[in-house]
Amino acid sequence: MLTYIARRILYSIPVMFLSTFLSFVFVSYAGNPVGNLRNNPKISQNTLELVIKHNHLDRSVPVRYWFWLQDVVTHKLGNSLLTFQPIWPDITRTIGHTAQVIIISETLAIILGIAVGIFSAIRQYSVFDYLFTSVSFLGYAMPVFWFALLLQVLFVNIYLKWHVRIFYTSGLNTPGKGTWSLDRLQHIALPIMTLLVISFALYSRYMRASMLDVINSDYVRTARAKGVSEWRVIMRHVFRNALIPVVTIAALNLGGLLGGAIITETIFTLDGIGYYFIQSLQGSDYYAVMAYLVVTSVIIILFNLIADIIYGYLDPRIRYD
Amino acid sequence: MTEPTVEPFDPPEQVSPKAQTIDGMLPAPAGLFDSTVEAGLEFKARSQWSYARRRFLRHRLAMAGLVGLIIIFGSGIFANFIAPYSYSAIDLNNILHPPTTTAHHFFGTDEIGRDYFSRVIWGIRTSEEVGLFVAAVSSLIGLCVGAAAGYYGGWVDNLLMRLTDLVLTLPALAILLTAAALLGQGSQWRVSIILALFFWTGIARVVRGIFLSLREKEYVEAAKASGANDMRIMFRHILPNTLGPIIVNGTIAVAAAIITEAALSFLGFGIQPPTPSLGVLVAGGQTNPQQWWLTVFPGLTIVVIVLCVNFMGDGLRDALDPTQRRVRA
Amino acid sequence: MPEPVLSIQNLAVEFKTDDGIVHAVDDITYEIYPGETLGIVGESGSGKSVSTLSILGLIPQPPGRVVSGTAMFKGKDLLKLKKKELRDVRGDEVAMVFQDPMTSLNPVLKIGYQLGEAIKTHYPKERDEKVKQRVIDLLRLVGVPNPDTRYDQYPHEFSGGMRQRAMIAMSIANSPSLLIADEPTTALDVTIQAQVLEVLKTVQNETNAAIILITHDLGIVAELCERVLVMYAGRIVESGDVHTIFQSPRHPYTIGLMDSLPKLTEDEEWLRPIPGAPPSLINRPSGCAFHPRCFLSQGRLRCREEVPVLRKAEGTGHEAACHFSDELAGRASKFAEAVPSGGRD
């Protein structure tokens, strides 16, 4: 098992480098960091040349990547092209907020999704099953931005009509309130709900399908033939096997979640890393854009690694890969 | 009815199959085929495609999805005839009107008086153009690359796998947004190309898997032994097996492309106004939260399109690949 | 004559499908006595597996349904037992070995655990070390080398033949009185088949269990069984002891089965398959289910209209379900001289 983990870690490292290099190359070639600055009349020629020298914009791309890597290692991730301030503190601040929303919604989605999936599979063809299947089909088909907007419109209208503020529809919290205050929760409830619904639809569907697949498999029939009670059959034999594909899906979903975060944070104006990305993109702040791409790629790769390890724990066949 | 007289029985002589056979088997006992058809022994052999078609037609949800799509996509294609107004006809006397049947403003009007129903219809057309284009192009690229990788193996295959793995580790929406911002310039076709260039990896993986597994099969070896060259083998023997998954993947791609383009346009980086895409329309609704129809109708259209596509995809998967132990939703 | 271990009367099982009702098992009756090996032979779809799965309650009940019949086992009707009682019987007094050992063992659990589970489910108070020791002894009995190391391994680390041995070990863990082996060697290589059959013989010697051996392979039946039932389209068409049936089969289907086997002691130019295809179980032929493919029937009305029942064949004492089986009397079968002493005499 340990060798398996070591191998996965070793494999992830070059992938990280390659991924970040690709992002860097892509943005550098497609974007023109200096172009916008050149057009800005407030920036003098001197400043421009300083910027170019400082960011090594006069050198070739691989060289710039090398310098940029050095910057990363010293935790700076460079400076924003717009504000000339270090990017790193922005990233750490915003990522904390995004993490709060994502962790809460994912935990709920996984727990609910697995539970509903199991129950739905055991009670196949029941009313519950049909109901839940339809709901999840709907959740699947729902674009993130539309659902978020609907929630926003709904609660704005509730407030306007009845003057009751159930959930806030924008912002992270009213100034002065803490990260774990009720006020904060009221603010992030809607984005959490948005992300929750879509992830839940995905996980519960996969869990149900996986459960049904396993329940009808030969080794479950063997366990029943041995006289094992139905409860133990489900818990011991079915559950662990059924969980395997869901773990993979959850890890792969992280990319989609980060995308969802971009959308929800924009709609609800939350100070998260997704919103930071959009603003940087709008302002053509390519170093910030790149910082975002790199940070998120690394996070995704890390999570894939964790998923691989969990997978190896659940399924012993994989360990000898 | 009189009984035929029965002779003392003699086991049938061994007869070479070339003489008097039915399907190369031994001569059948008397009266064999009279009773087989009623007995349900015989059935008419059908082609593989008609089996698939029969399976699909039996799938009620899939049929509902197909009908829904025909209606919606049809209205997009014939937008000229169906939309009561042009999508840019401004009527400043009638701004922000809720849905009504007067003057055919079924979906109401927007903030400069344009008929929303018409805008949604035109939006459907844009979306379906994007969806179909992306699905077709990405399937084509995915097919070529996947076939090459799966069939030839070696470094081509390795390269492809590393590439698709890499794409999986990138934050999808962010990359697409960046690409659209830098290269898209708000054009519908540029955005479509960008999406297609991102989507092909999924199909390539599936196609590669099929080519890889079928390459080893005996009938490919037999074809090679009789002198068929590579292209012929790939086309006539292996390719037909990939059509099923490609079609299924293609339908998924249509839905995914529509949603993604809508998201991109909503955030302002995809298709730019005044071209109405469903995403652009929803974005417009955000500034007027009290006029709920501006948000609801285009979004609802997207949901319905995607639902129909998903149902159809389910049905197609059942019809084209029944060997998979599929659980119907 | 001792009491039968299992006595099945008029069992009928059907499945509801989109295309109609499938009559998988249609009114079968048989018994099996302690210590004997009974073979059930038939093509796929003949109902041989379904009949045994249904008495253990292993048929999924929504599409499947036991329409009628009783299955008396040690004084209890298995078909009428409550779920918990049936579970107590399964794996303890009646055990089953399945066809494909690759998919029949849970891939994520250790072999030792799975075998131990068979014991602990029914005897939860036994100490863990005792259970482990018994499992190791069982593995040794069935011929798995190095059982103490193998105990901690996973199914994918076993070869196909070894997995089947482990399955057999698992089934006899609680010394059942009846062991049902559903095509235990079909998924294995021929050389491994022989080994697994040996294991079955050993196991029977050790436990004196009655074995129902389900197979489509007449060779295995000849080797291992004392009595055999031939099933076709959900009904029993011939039943009797192995010697007799191999020497003088009295049902055209059985004759057809044997004729389709190559005889190794002579030269044959062409093989003789049974013409036609197995019947649809939804739309069965009227009267005798075999008549469309039968060389004896020759279109006679009785075959088409009346379902034949099992009755004693002339001169041999075994039973066949054919209206005209007497016409087959005196006809020596292909393998008349070649019947081995097979099974336990």
What is the mean predicted confidence (pLDDT) over C54-82? 88
Determine the distance in angstroms separating the CA of C14 from the nearest CA of chain B, rounded to an integer: 18
Residue C325 carries which DSSP code? Answer: G
Q: A124 pLDDT exceeds 90?
A: no
Contacting residues of B for C277, CB less than 8 Å apart: 41
Q: For testing the chain A interface, which of B130, B182, B261 should be mutated: the one with the most A CBs within 10 Å?
A: B182
Distance separating alpha carbons of residues C45 and C48, to the nearest angstrom: 8
Sort out which chain A residues have CB atoms less than 8 A from C58's CB and list them.
Answer: 221, 224-225
What pLDDT is stored for residue C334 in this prediction?
72
CA gap A64, A28 in Å, rounded: 9
State the Cα angle at B54 between B317 and C275, rounded to 5°: 110
Distance CA C291, CA B35 (A): 9
Chain B interface mutation, best of A146, A278, A300, highest count of B Cβ atoms under 10 Å: A146
Compute the C-alpha angle C70/C75/C80, nearest 5°. 40
Contact C114, A218 (CB under 8 A): no
Chain C residues at the B interface, defined by Cβ less than 8 Å, are 18, 259, 268-270, 272-273, 275-277, 279-280, 282-286, 291-301, 304, 327-328, 331
CB atoms under 10 Å from CB of A89, counted, come to 11
Question: One-letter amino acid identity for C282?
Answer: I
Q: Are C174 and C95 in contact (CB under 8 A)?
A: yes
Chain C CB contacts of B32 below 8 Å = 275-276, 292-293
- Using the 8-state DSSP alphabet, how is residue A9 labeled? H
Position B29 scores a pLDDT of 43
At residue A216 the predicted structure's pLDDT band, cuts being 50, 70 and 90, is confident
Q: Are B216 and B137 in contact (CB under 8 A)?
A: no
B8 DSSP 8-state letter: P
What would the two tokens of residue A296 be? 């998120």
Question: Given pLDDT bands bounded at 50, 70 and 90, which one contains residue B119?
Answer: confident
Does residue B24 surpass a pLDDT of 50? no
B251, amino acid identity: T
Q: Alpha helices, DSSP H only, in chain A?
A: 2-30, 33-39, 45-54, 61-73, 88-122, 127-141, 144-162, 182-215, 218-225, 230-232, 240-267, 273-282, 286-314
| Residue C185 pLDDT grade (very low, low, confident, very high; cuts 50, 70, 90) | confident
Residue pair C82/C74 in contact (Cβ under 8 Å)? The answer is: no
C98 vs A216, A218, A241: nearest CB: A218
Residue C11 confidence (pLDDT) = 92
CA-to-CA dists, residue A28 to A55, A68, A235, A311, B169, angstroms: 12, 12, 52, 37, 20
How far is B191 from B134, CA to CA, in rounded Å? 9
| N residues, chain C | 345
Q: Which of A260-274, B90-104, B121-135, C315-329 has the lowest mean pLDDT?
A: B90-104
Torsion of CA B315, B320, B322, B324, to 10 degrees: -90
Instruction: Mutate one of B127, B161, B168, B169 to test the A interface: name it (highest A CB count within 10 A).
Output: B169
d(CA C138, CA B45): 51
Query: CB-based burial of residue A76 (10 Å sphere; 0-12 exposed, 13-18 middle, 19+ buried)?
Result: middle
Judging contacts by C-beta atoms under 8 Å, the chain B residues touching residue C327 are 8-9
Q: Is the pLDDT of residue B152 over 90?
A: no
Subunits with 3+ C-beta pairs closer than 8 A to A: B, C
Please tell me the predicted confidence (pLDDT) of residue A34: 59
Mean pLDDT of B31-42: 38
Which pairing describes strands C178-182 and C94-97: parallel, antiparallel, or unpaired? parallel
For residue C176, whether the previous peptide bond is cis, meaning omega lies within 30 degrees of 0, is no
CA B209 to CA B324: how far, in whole Å? Answer: 15
Residue C153 to chain A, least CA–CA distance (Å): 10
Residue B26: pLDDT band (50, 70, 90) is very low
Query: Residue C8 and residue C77: Cα distance in Å, rounded?
Result: 9
Determine which of A151-160, A220-229, B89-98, C154-163 has the lowest per-residue pLDDT on average: B89-98
Query: CA–CA distance from C336 to each of C148, C231, C331, C342 (Å)?
Result: 47, 21, 10, 14
- Measured distance CA(A293)–CA(A303) in Å, rounded: 15
B183 burial class (0-12, 13-18, 19+ CB within 10 angstroms)?
A: middle
Phi, psi at B3, each rounded to 5°: -80, 140
Say whether pLDDT at A19 is over 70.
Answer: yes
pLDDT tens digits along A150-174: 888 888 888 888 877 777 777 777 7
Ordered strands of the C235-241 beta sheet: C94-97, C178-182, C210-215, C37-41, C227-232, C235-241, C319-320, C311-312
Q: How far apart are CA C339 and CA C333, in angstroms?
A: 10
User: Would you state the pLDDT for residue A82?
Assistant: 66
Type of residue found at B106: F
**Chain B neighbors of A152, CB-CB under 8 A:** 286, 289
Overall average pLDDT of the C38-53 stretch: 88
Provide the pLDDT for residue A262.
92
Q: Which of A165-169, A286-290, C188-192 has the lowest mean pLDDT?
A: A165-169
What is the count of residue pairs from A and B with beta carbons less than 8 Å apart? 137
C168 in Cβ contact with C196 (< 8 Å): yes
CA–CA gap between residue C63 and residue B252 (Å, rounded): 32
Rounded Cα distance between B101 and B110, Å, is 15
Confidence (pLDDT) at A106? 92
Predicted confidence (pLDDT) at residue C195 exceeds the cutoff of 80: yes
pLDDT value at position B134?
A: 94
Q: Give the helix, strand, coil percentages of chain B, each rounded to 5.
A: 70, 0, 30
3-state SS record for C146-197? CHHHHCCCCHHHCCHHHHHHHHHHHHCCCCCCEEEEECCCCCCCHHHHHHHH
C96 in contact with chain A, both atoms CB, cutoff 8 A: yes
pLDDT above 90 (res A138): no
C198-241 pLDDT, tens digit each: 888 888 888 888 999 999 888 889 888 999 999 998 899 999 98
pTM over 0.90: no
Nearest Cα residue to C210 out of C2, C22, C32, C76: C32
Residues B58 and B100: beta-carbon distance below 8 Å: no
Chain A residues close to C170, C-beta within 8 Å: 222, 226
For position C286, what pLDDT does the model report?
84
**Res C277: pLDDT:** 81
Q: Report the pLDDT value the prediction gives residue C336, as an integer from 0 to 100.
A: 65
pLDDT confidence of residue B14: 38
Contact flag B25-C291 (C-beta cutoff 8 Å):
no
Helix (H, G, I), strand (E, B) or coil at B114: coil
For B298, the token pair is 């285009």
Rounded to whole angstroms, the Cα distance separating B105 from B95 reads 11
Write the residue in C88, C104, C107 that is nearest to A227 by C-beta. C88
- Contact C107/A317, CB-based, under 8 Å? yes
* pLDDT (mean) for A216-238: 89
Percent of chain A with pLDDT over 90: 12
How far, in Å, CA of A171 to CA of A151, rounded? 15
CA nearest to A282 within chain B: B181
What separation, in Å, do the N-terminal and C-terminal C-alpha atoms of chain A show?
Answer: 11
Hey, are the CB atoms on A227 and C89 less than 8 Å from each other? yes
C32 token code pair: 């099996």
Compute the average pLDDT of residues C164-172: 92
Region of C143 (left: φ > 0; alpha: ψ -120 to 50; beta: rest) is left
For range C2-12, the mean pLDDT: 90
**Would the pLDDT of B226 be above 60?**
yes
How far apart are the C-alpha atoms of C309 and B36, rounded to whole Å? 22
Q: pLDDT value at position C257?
A: 85
Q: Does A302 touch chain B (CB under 8 A)?
A: no
Among C103, C121, C122, beta carbon nearest to A219:
C103
Q: Do A226 and C117 touch (CB under 8 A)?
A: yes
Question: What's the token pair of residue C39?
Answer: 């073979």
Q: pLDDT tens digit string along A53-94?
A: 666 666 677 777 777 777 766 656 666 766 767 788 888 888
Contact assignment for C90 to A226 by CB distance below 8 Å: yes
| Contact: C56, A229; criterion CB under 8 Å | no
| pLDDT of B40 | 38
Binary contact (C103, A241; C-beta < 8 A): no
A277: pLDDT strictly greater than 80: yes
- For residue B185, the 8-state DSSP code is T
Whole-number pLDDT of residue C265: 75
What Rg, from alpha-carbon coordinates, does chain A have?
A: 24
Least confident range from A148-162, B28-42, C183-197: namely B28-42
Can you tell me whether residue C29 is helix, strand or coil?
strand
Cα angle, residue A12 at apex, residues A10 and A13 outer, rounded to 5°:
75
Q: How many CB atoms lie within 10 A of CB C299?
A: 18
Q: What value does the mean pLDDT take over residues C46-56? A: 88
Neighbours of B152 (CB within 10 A): 14
Contact B39 C294 (CB under 8 A): no
- The residue with tokens 């249904």 is C54
In order of A280, B22, B56, C278, C304, the CA distances from B37 in angstroms are 73, 15, 26, 13, 14
Q: What mean pLDDT is reported for chain C?
A: 86
pLDDT band at B21 (very low <50, low <70, confident <90, very high): very low
What is the mean predicted confidence (pLDDT) over B210-237?
72
Mean pLDDT rounded to a whole number for chain B: 73
Smallest Cα distance from C113 to chain B, Å:
29
Of C270, C282, C327, the CB nearest to B14: C270
Element (H, E) at C121: helix C111-122
> Which of C43, C282, C298 is best to mutate for the B interface (most B CBs within 10 A)?
C298
DSSP per residue over B227-281, as a string? T--HHHIIIIIIHHHHHHHHHHHHHHHHHHHHHHHHHHHHTTSSSPTTS--HHHH
For residue B17, pLDDT over 50 is answered with: no
Quote the minimal CA–CA distance from B7 to chain A in Å.
50
Among the partner residues B173, B295, B307, nearest to A153 by beta-carbon distance: B295
User: Looking at residue B11, what is its pLDDT?
Assistant: 39
Q: Is the confidence at residue B56, as pLDDT, over 60?
A: yes
Radius of gyration for the alpha carbons in chain C, expressed in angstroms and rounded: 21
Task: Answer yes or no: are the C-beta atoms of C331 and C250 closer than 8 Å.
Answer: no
Q: Please report the pLDDT score of residue B22 as a whole number.
A: 38
Q: Which of B168, B286, B310 sits opposite A252 (nearest CB)?
A: B168
Q: Does C124 touch chain A (CB under 8 A)?
A: no
Mean pLDDT of A272-278: 91
Specify the pLDDT at position B12: 39
pLDDT, tens digit, 9 for 90 and up, residues B268-323? 888 887 778 888 888 887 777 777 778 888 888 898 988 888 888 878 877 776 55
Instruction: Please determine, for residue A109, whether its predicted confidence score (pLDDT) is greater than 90.
Output: yes
The average confidence (pLDDT) of chain A is 81
Mind telling me how many Å the CA of C284 is from chain A's nearest CA? 28
Range in A127-131, B6-10, C288-292, C317-321 with the lowest mean pLDDT? B6-10
Judging contacts by C-beta atoms under 8 Å, the chain A residues touching residue C101 are none
Are A238 and A214 a contacting pair, CB within 8 Å? Answer: yes
User: What is the per-residue pLDDT for B157?
Assistant: 84
The partner residues of C211 in beta bridges, in order of sequence, read: C37, C179
